[in-house]
Amino acid sequence: MQSTDTDARLTWVGGIFYADTRQMNSEGIREPYLNAETGIPLSSNDVSLALFNLPLVDGQYSYSDRVVSHDAQLAGFGEVNVMLTARLRATAGLRAARTYTDYHDARDGPFAGGPGDDRGKHYETPKTPRYILAYQFDPDNMVYGSMSEGFRIGGVNRSVDPTICGAALLADGFVDQNGNVEAPKTYRSDRVRSYELGVKLRPTANFRLATSVYHIDWLDIIRPVDLSGSISPLCASSITANLGRAVSKGVDLEASYAPVAKLLLSLMLSYDDAKFTQTIPGSNGFNLVTGGWTLGQTPWTIVGSGELKFTGPFGVHSYFRADADFRSKNRGLTQITDPASANFNPYVRPDSSSLDLRLRYGVQLSSWDVSLFVDNALNIHPIINVQNDSPGAPTPYGSATRPLTAGITAQSRF
């Protein structure tokens, strides 16, 4: 629902939101040749009994898992806009929700430690306000300030076998009030609180500029915790927990300039400094989270582009476009690259800085657009996303960005 007079001094909007989703995931690891793999001259089921003291599920599966999750949310929201003066507008809004999550995990097989059944549910009532104060100098120029909040729904963890993963849980500090090892059964929503101050300007007809500075507080951060590795070598589990706080602060700038009618230049620049501000120690001298760790973000992003339209041979409408995209390397420590971290992984390294130059020359004939392109014109293709399966796995792997690529495209609009 909303007010009908858009020119009124006070306008409002309100409504109700409801969502209900269910998801089912199934996984099975079939082992019909377990005897051949182990070299034991028995049936695969008998090999499983000999090695794990448990039979294969249905005589063939070493692991089977069926997970059914259900998420529901009912929310009400409203927003009011008030013109305090002819140029000054104030906005206040609120969204309040009731969220529900439940989880059912049924598993079996020797790799699951035998039959297991987990159930859990979690309720929350998050509230997210928003406030904006904007001053409009004229239709093309304004300044504004805002504060808003957001959340990400919490959830339920599957159970973790303390006999297999207890050492890792203890090392990471997951114990109950009596000091007994216990994985958290649920995790709360995490929240962000964002403050922004910005301007939008159009000093001339061919020049536009928008820039802002921001500060974001991130609270009760939802993070995965990998329990595998040398501390508990037989553990293959992971859990999700609320770990620490972080602050992200930076600046954004977007500008466009048309020095002549057929030439458009654009620039987008952003700087983001995002770091944890809270240290959460484990129980073995290693930290789950250390204040000062970065979130792994790209600090500097600079994107520039230019497009020139002109009349080519035989009077054909033509254009040339160039785009350059630079992303800087994050040189700060993270939970994976800090030797003092409980999740330190010596085989993982952060992505290097990157520069991607793309070129395109095209012609437009009636409804057709035909163009020649070159992507990654500088042929820079470092290995990125270097990782391995777990901190104890010795073999790292990664992927390479596509090298210099040239081609032709043709499309028709109708």
Can you give the pLDDT of all 414 residues of the chain as single tens digits? 999 888 899 999 999 999 999 999 998 989 888 888 888 888 888 888 988 888 999 888 988 989 898 999 999 999 999 999 999 999 999 999 999 998 898 989 888 778 888 888 889 999 999 999 999 999 999 999 999 999 998 888 887 878 888 888 887 778 888 888 888 888 999 999 999 999 999 999 999 999 999 999 999 999 888 777 667 777 777 889 998 899 999 999 999 999 999 999 999 999 999 999 999 887 667 788 899 999 988 999 999 999 999 998 888 999 999 999 999 999 899 888 888 777 777 777 788 899 999 999 999 988 899 999 999 999 988 888 777 765 556 677 788 888 999 999 999 988
Angstrom distance (rounded) from CA 402 to CA 379: 8
Note whether residue 413 is domain-resident.
yes
Angstrom distance (rounded) from CA 102 to CA 153: 12
Q: 273: which strand partners?
A: 249
Look up residue 401 and give its two tokens: 């960005």
DSSP state of 6: T
Q: 219: which strand partners?
A: 191
For residue 372, what are the contacts with CB-CB under 8 A and spacing of at least 6?
360, 361, 362, 406, 407, 408
Note whether residue 222 is domain-resident.
no
Note whether residue 22 is domain-resident.
no
Note whether residue 32 is domain-resident.
no
Range of the domain at 294: 233-414
69 and 4 Cβ atoms separated by less than 8 Å: no
Angstrom distance (rounded) from CA 245 to CA 292: 11
HEC readout, 355-374: EEEEEEEEEEECCEEEEEEE
Angstrom distance (rounded) from CA 114 to CA 11: 61
Note whether residue 354 is domain-resident.
yes
- Report the domain count for the chain: 1
pTM of the model: 0.82
Note whether residue 80 is domain-resident.
no
For residue 11, what are the contacts with CB-CB under 8 A and spacing of at least 6?
2, 3, 5, 80, 81
For residue 388, what are the contacts with CB-CB under 8 A and spacing of at least 6?
345, 347, 348, 394, 395, 396, 397
For residue 253, what are the contacts with CB-CB under 8 A and spacing of at least 6?
209, 210, 211, 267, 268, 269, 270
Angstrom distance (rounded) from CA 294 to CA 190: 18
Secondary structure percentages of the chain, helix, strand, coil, to 5: 5, 60, 35
Which amino acid does the sequence have at 24?
M
Note whether residue 84 is domain-resident.
no
For residue 344, what are the contacts with CB-CB under 8 A and spacing of at least 6?
286, 335, 336, 337, 338, 391
Angstrom distance (rounded) from CA 293 to CA 343: 13
Note whether residue 68 is domain-resident.
no
How far, in whole angstroms, is CA 265 from its chain's centroid?
A: 30
Look up residue 238 and give its two tokens: 């992971």
